């Protein structure tokens, strides 16, 4: 039986993108350098012009607003704003300011991400987050970017998935040192990076608040829903504690916390297990697990009680748009149940607005809107119309299992 769940007033209803994955030509960033370094075989293709959203953002916003979304999460790019240490590009700041105004003009409330995986190359070359003074440099960038969020922006995400940023440091150090990564699951986050990111987050929150006191600040964690197989309970709790909980706890006192959930990791007595034979996998190879979202919001609410939650990412990489609708219906059903049980969720942003650059390849398509790789023509998929319409009805479709 299908029922529905009415969204509370003010609930954010949107789709998400990041700068590097959609803009194209992010030539001053460490990711651009990495994509062209030949360092690992994990980069199938470079980001190139990505979705050309640096130029086509008005079209992206027209589509999202026309589909019914009321909110849009997008990122601004540190490497564009500060391509060389201490040299700030006023045109880049003005560009992002125009995006904020363009969103507002179309009836979209912008949620602005200040950092989403990429760094200016100079910052990476001086040692990244673990190098002394990194948080001061981040705060200096945030202050330079203040015109972007000074007006018309109610929500700022300081850092996207700090836990993944710290995991990537471990992964890259391991690979470049000739080591191997665990066959299943993720390596441990680099500790010095994780601590520096927490300090940088606090500094950024203080900077944003001092410049624009009305802005509600938070950061978004990559949640790690786990399924403990018999005997794996302690390993699962340890896995989640080190890779998720410490980052959730660092959000204590924030205006909101971002939840980002896609899949689950099965954990046995000896650690993470492969996706079982026969289980459905998405284009990223992850297990199809729409219940990850409910698990993530409930776990976050229990770990940082009293902090409102915004789902800043949830979605599926698939070429079968009907599976996207099925996945999202089930994810939203779980979300509605968690909210009915009292979990304080203030918004939902689907990942992603567009088929975009999935950190090494355009193959895993997460988008509600297809992007032709040759012409950049955007074509909304049926899922986009379906999900966007919820912005008008303010009513979540929920299914009874
Ligand atoms: O594409 C990424 C995004 O940049 C961060 N969160 C997970 C998404 C899907 O892998």
Report the CATH number that the domain containing residue 90 is assigned in CATH: 3.20.20.80
- The Å distance, Cα 318 to ligand 1 centre, comes to 14
Mean pLDDT value across residues 149-153: 98
Structure token digits, residue 70: 């009321």
Q: For residues 216 and 211, give the distance between their C-alpha atoms in angstroms, rounded to a whole number.
A: 12
Structurally, the chain folds into a number of domains equal to 1
**Residue 287 near ligand 1, beta carbon < 6 Å:** no
Each residue's pLDDT tens digit, 204-240? 999 999 999 999 999 999 999 999 999 999 999 999 9
Condensed to tens digits (0 to 9), the pLDDT of residues 300-324 reads 999 999 999 999 999 999 999 999 9
The pLDDT tens digits of the residues spanning 175-208 come to 889 999 999 999 999 999 999 999 999 999 999 9
Best of 359, 367, 368 to mutate for ligand 1, by most ligand atoms within 8 A of CB? 359
In this prediction, residue 38 has a pLDDT band, given cuts at 50, 70 and 90, of confident
As a whole number, mean pLDDT of residues 140-155 equals 98
Which domain does 70 fall in, by range?
Answer: 2-399
Q: What's the CA gap between 313 and 10, in Å, rounded? A: 18
CA dihedral 165, 51, 260, 94 (to 10 degrees): 80
Residue 2 has pLDDT above 90, yes or no: no
Q: Whose CA is nearest to atom 2 of ligand 1?
A: 358
pLDDT at residue 353 tops 90: yes
Average pLDDT of every residue of the chain:
97
- The 10s digit of each residue's pLDDT in 44-99 is 999 999 999 999 999 999 999 999 999 999 999 999 999 999 999 999 999 999 99
> What pLDDT, on a 0 to 100 scale, did the predictor assign at position 40?
74
**Is residue 383 a contact partner of residue 325, using CB atoms and an 8 Å limit?**
yes
Q: Is the pLDDT of residue 1 over 50?
A: no
Contacts of 132 (CB under 8 A, 6+ apart): none
CB of 355 closer than 6 A to ligand 1? no
Residue 401 has pLDDT above 80, yes or no: no
């Amino acid at each position: 039986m299908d029922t529905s769940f009415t969204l509370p007033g003010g609930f954010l209803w949107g789709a998400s993108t990041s700068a590097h994955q959609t803009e194209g030509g992010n030539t001053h960033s460490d990711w651009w350098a990495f994509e062209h370094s030949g360092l690992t075989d994990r980069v199938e293709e470079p980001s190139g012009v990505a979705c050309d959203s640096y130029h086509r953002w008005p079209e992206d916003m027209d589509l999202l607003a026309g589909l019914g979304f009321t909110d849009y999460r997008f990122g601004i790019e540190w490497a564009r704003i500060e391509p060389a240490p201490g040299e700030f590009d006023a045109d880049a700041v003005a560009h992002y300011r125009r995006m904020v105004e363009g969103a507002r003009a179309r009836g979209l409330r912008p949620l602005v991400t200040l950092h989403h995986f990429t760094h200016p190359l100079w910052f990476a070359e001086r040692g990244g987050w673990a190098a002394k003074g990194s948080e001061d440099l981040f705060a200096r960038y945030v202050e330079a970017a203040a015109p972007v969020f000074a007006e018309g922006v109610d929500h700022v995400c300081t850092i996207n998935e700090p836990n993944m940023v710290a995991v990537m440091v471990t992964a890259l150090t391991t690979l470049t040192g000739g080591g191997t990564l665990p066959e299943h699951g993720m390596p441990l986050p680099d500790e010095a990076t994780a601590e520096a990111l927490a300090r940088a987050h606090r500094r950024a929150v203080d900077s944003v608040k001092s410049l624009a006191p009305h802005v509600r600040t938070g950061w978004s964690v990559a949640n790690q829903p786990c399924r403990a197989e018999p005997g794996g309970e302690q390993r699962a709790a340890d896995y989640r504690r080190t890779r998720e909980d410490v980052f959730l706890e660092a959000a204590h006192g924030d205006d909101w916390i971002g939840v980002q959930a896609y899949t689950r990791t099965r954990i046995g007595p000896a650690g993470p297990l492969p996706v079982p034979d026969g289980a459905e996998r998405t284009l990223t190879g992850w297990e199809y697990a729409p219940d990850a979202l409910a698990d993530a919001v409930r776990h976050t609410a229990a770990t940082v009680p009293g902090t409102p939650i915004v789902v800043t990412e949830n979605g599926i990489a698939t070429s079968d748009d009907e599976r996207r609708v099925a996945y999202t219906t089930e994810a939203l059903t779980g979300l509605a149940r968690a909210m009915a049980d009292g979990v304080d969720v203030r918004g939902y942003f689907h990942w992603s607005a567009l088929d975009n650059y999935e950190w090494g390849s355009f193959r895993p398509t997460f988008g509600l809107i297809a992007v032709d790789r040759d012409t950049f023509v955007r074509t909304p998929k049926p899922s986009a119309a379906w999900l966007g319409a919820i912005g008008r009805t303010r009513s979540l479709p929920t299914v009874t299992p």
